[in-house]
Amino acid sequence: MAGKSRESWKKALIDETKKEIKIELDQVLRESGETERLNYILEQIQLLDLSKDSVSMLRRFIFIMSALVHHERFGGLGKKQIHDLSNLGEAILRVAGVKPGHSPISFLFSEMHSIMSDIHLGNGEFLPSLWERLLSAHLSAMPAEHMARQNLGIGINALRLGNTALAIEFFQKGLRETEESKTLDRLRLYLIKSTRLSGDIIKADQLVQQYAPQLTDPACVHELHWEKTCISASQSLDLGELFKLSMEGGTHYTNTYPLELFFWAYAHPKTSWSKRLEKLSKLTHGLDVQRNSGFHALAQSLEQAYDTDIPFAKRLSDIKRVITKIEVLRNIDQRLLVWLALARWLHRSNHRQIAAIVLYEYMSLSQKLSFGKHLDVLRLAEDLVHVYSPEGDGSVNPMSHDSSND
């Protein structure tokens, strides 16, 4: 049977079967909606259980992939279902004789592990997501252009874990593998972001000057402007340009930029910046905050934390309820900002012991991002590092500042 499957599973057949199944599923979606579409997929997987011919096995595998893709986009599966479907997909590939590596159809392994990576990412499971992305690249022979995109994905996942050195390595590798402009733009952008978050502000600024004239994708040009402004803010501690960009009427009054501005202002050592902020409800008026509900909930809690009409014990309890949302934020720079803004509120409230605990989360993350070189990669916390330094005598930890980058 395996021999037959190897002969029958040609790329043309795979592509044609994918098209046929997509037509089926699109019709179900139009007639019955997302939930029934998933139910139909699961029914087909079950119905094909007893069919051992090559074409039926291929259809079953593609339905399995369809279920995983559906879940990644819309949800609907439990963790056990996802695990079982993933295992079943791998088992079908083995029985069908699909070989990882240089087989013409080994891309099926890559596709399956890529979607599993995306599912883990959606759950905030950054290490399993990186693991699956690495498997996706390892188990399938890919052209250089495809490998560049894989290295982009691997680098993004490594950055989300705080492994900037690894991320930078994969982004640089990707840049050597492609000439496709959109992929190049994203690789350049993430290389700049990783370098900034590693604490090497001077190098990040140099990369901005190098790559800015080369970027053509509008979304990447938009994000590069924000990165450039964040670099400037870390160097000067002046948040004026961040305010200009992300307040209503600014070019970056979209997505999470106003929320990031909110945390930059509250993480800043000077209260004058946070006093310039509008109420959060007005700052995010008209924006789709539900897409970033965890980040928005943290901002709401911090705003309420500064409301002295609310008893402090309640404010502290409210922060405790949302603090677990920090570690599932996809963007690690947002995690940095939240930890620091919370530490600064606690410090200002004279709750030094709790402030120290929260600040150490920020400093630990800074150390991880900088490979042990900095305790303050955003350069907003020198005063707090001075107060809460490990020596306990108010001296600045030598790792918190690198004079070579001045």
pLDDT of residue 391: 53
Q: Give the confidence band of 149 by pLDDT, cuts at 50, 70, 90.
A: confident
pLDDT in tens, 82-131: 999 999 999 999 888 888 877 788 889 989 999 999 999 888 888 898 88
Q: How many CA atoms lie within 13 A of 197 on its CB side?
A: 30
pLDDT of residue 401: 38
User: In whole angstroms, what is the distance from residue 170 CA to residue 130 CA?
Assistant: 12
Phi first, then psi: what are they for 121, rounded to 5°? -60, -45
Q: Give the confidence band of 52 by pLDDT, cuts at 50, 70, 90.
A: confident
Comparing 1 with 15, the larger pLDDT belongs to 15
User: In whole angstroms, what is the distance from residue 247 CA to residue 235 CA?
Assistant: 21
Q: Give the confidence band of 393 by pLDDT, cuts at 50, 70, 90.
A: very low
Q: Is the pLDDT of residue 144 over 70?
A: no
Q: Is the pLDDT of residue 1 over 70?
A: no
pLDDT in tens, 312-329: 889 888 888 888 889 889
User: In whole angstroms, what is the distance from residue 363 CA to residue 377 CA?
Assistant: 8
DSSP structure string for 93-145: HHHTTPPSBS-TTTHHHHHHHHHHHHHHHHTT-HHHHHHHHHHHHHSB---HH
CA trace torsion 22, 27, 28, 31 (10° rounding): 160
pLDDT of residue 272: 97
Q: Which of 317, 316, 339, 315 is nearest to 326 (CA)?
A: 339
pLDDT in tens, 333-370: 999 999 999 999 999 999 999 999 999 999 999 999 99
For residue 87, what are the β-bridge partners?
A: none
pLDDT in tens, 265-282: 999 999 999 999 999 999
- pLDDT mean over 135-162: 83
Extract the tokens encoding 7: 């002969």
Above pLDDT 90, what percent of the chain?
70
Q: Which of 99, 151, 110, 154 is nearest to 129 (CA)?
A: 154
pLDDT in tens, 25-50: 999 999 999 999 999 999 999 999 88
Q: How many CA atoms lie within 13 A of 190 on its CB side?
A: 31
- pLDDT mean over 192-219: 97
pLDDT in tens, 202-212: 999 999 999 99
Comparing 374 with 99, the larger pLDDT belongs to 374
115 touches 72 (CB < 8 A): yes
User: In whole angstroms, what is the distance from residue 112 CA to residue 89 CA?
Assistant: 8
Above pLDDT 70, what percent of the chain?
92
pLDDT of residue 104: 80
CA trace torsion 120, 124, 129, 131 (10° rounding): -120
Kindly report the pTM of this predicted structure: 0.78
For residue 140, what are the β-bridge partners?
A: 101
pLDDT of residue 8: 62
pLDDT of residue 142: 65
- pLDDT mean over 52-75: 94
pLDDT of residue 171: 96
Q: Give the confidence band of 399 by pLDDT, cuts at 50, 70, 90.
A: very low
